[in-house]
Structure 1
């Protein structure tokens, strides 16, 4: 057997597999973003209260665990929609609170526009340059853990300055996570489109809420 032919065949198979992951990831991401927007809209229309920190954390990590556990089956997709729908529900009361402020509508639209611009810009950069950002994995893991704990501290001890600093950290960390995960997908580091979708969705969600917080503060809201 010709080694070159074998190597070429394997290379083509890898490229086909990667393209399939990319296609499935962005299709599922688009659907989950739309579903999350729907649940957020319903939550806003029904004026539902925010579930609170404890229920939010239990719901998020519980559904994330189930999504991860069943990522290789149809149940994994069902739990992806459950997770993103739940996150949309928790976002509804937050958006209602901002929209009730004098400049709330402008702040929300600016946060949405900024999130879209950052995500599309960073994704396009990785897709066109095909640069490998896998080296950021360890830094992002530690940074997100530190920011998460700092965020809990800001909530429990009611420190507005720390809360703003955490939001700024999350904007940078989520931007880095988009670079890292997109690079992971196109270079074959992530072969499960369910987990790739969850990672990108969480990055977009946290990027949006962090920008919302920062822009709200900048607008004196």
Structure 2
């Protein structure tokens, strides 16, 4: 005899269907969230590249060459302003509105473009292009790994942060020693560390979605995540360029 009155037999299909719909909705939201992060990050890199190209246009007669040759407060403003914006966004993200974070993000990418223009004056165009595409290929592969892997990369984060601090200390020391060997070691270590951070940060950003999904924090999370991946890519690009770049 069919047990048509048993609530367990009638509720199970509906519960399964509801769970499947919820899972599909979550997956769709996650894809949209990650796509927004990558779009912001890629747009920021593109904007920085355009600004760097325009600012350095003309080589030795460019505005960049004139500004950096003369030195002064403007140079320090170009160098330090991006760092100040990163700190402001990091510590003020809970207080700032999404619109304010957007303005800060785009301002940061413009200022980074001004700073990166020196690379176009220092290295050949072919070297810059090679380093960029190498960094882009590496970033894409590592970010995909971080997104798809089932392995927990959280333990890797602490190790990478310690390595990053080591690079900063070594770079400060090399300002005074001017050692070519140490500079090469720093560059190789920098590529490896930011390669690892790309995978680690991607997994962390993906995991973050479950906490911000359906809240007004999504927009802020997208911008801050894009900033993180932007920094991973730009640093990896610069370290690669310092290894393979040919100076003009």
* Alignment TM class, shorter chain as reference: 0.7 to 0.9
- Equivalent in the alignment of 1:186: 206
Q: Is this contact kept in 1: 2:146–2:198, CA < 8 A?
A: no
Q: Distance in 2 between matches of 1:202 and 1:80?
A: 12
Aligned pairs for 1:58-69 (under 5 A) are 58-68=80-90, 69=92
Q: Is this contact kept in 2: 1:40–1:90, CA < 8 A?
A: yes
CA change 1:188–1:168 in 2 (3 A) is same
Q: Is this contact kept in 1: 2:122–2:247, CA < 8 A?
A: no
In the superposition, the TM-score normalised over structure 1's length comes to: 0.82
Moved more, 157-166 or 185-194: 185-194
Moved more, 135-144 or 3-12: 3-12
Q: Distance in 2 between matches of 1:56 and 1:142?
A: 27
Q: Distance in 2 between matches of 1:65 and 1:135?
A: 24
Instruction: Give the number of the structure whose alpha-carbon radius of gyration is greater.
Output: 2
Q: Is this contact kept in 2: 1:155–1:163, CA < 8 A?
A: no
- Equivalent in the alignment of 1:76: 101
Matched, 1:94 2:119: yes
TM-fit CA distance, 1:63: 0.7
Aligned pairs for 1:139-178 (under 5 A) are 139-178=159-198
Q: Distance in 2 between matches of 1:59 and 1:154?
A: 23
Could you say what secondary structure the match of 1:132 adopts?
Answer: coil
Uncovered stretches (5+) of structure 1, i.e. residues with no partner: 99-103
TM-fit CA distance, 1:9: 6.9
Matched, 1:114 2:143: no
Could you say what secondary structure the match of 1:188 adopts?
Answer: helix
Q: Is this contact kept in 1: 2:79–2:115, CA < 8 A?
A: no
Q: Distance in 1 between matches of 2:242 and 2:203?
A: 28
TM-fit CA distance, 1:34: 1.2
In the superposition, the TM-score normalised over structure 2's length comes to: 0.74
Aligned-pair RMSD on alpha carbons? 2.8
- Equivalent in the alignment of 1:101: none
Uncovered stretches (5+) of structure 2, i.e. residues with no partner: 1-10, 213-220
Q: Distance in 2 between matches of 1:23 and 1:72?
A: 21
- Equivalent in the alignment of 1:211: 240
| Number of equivalenced pairs | 213
Q: Which residue, 38, 41, 45 being the options, matches 1:29?
A: 41
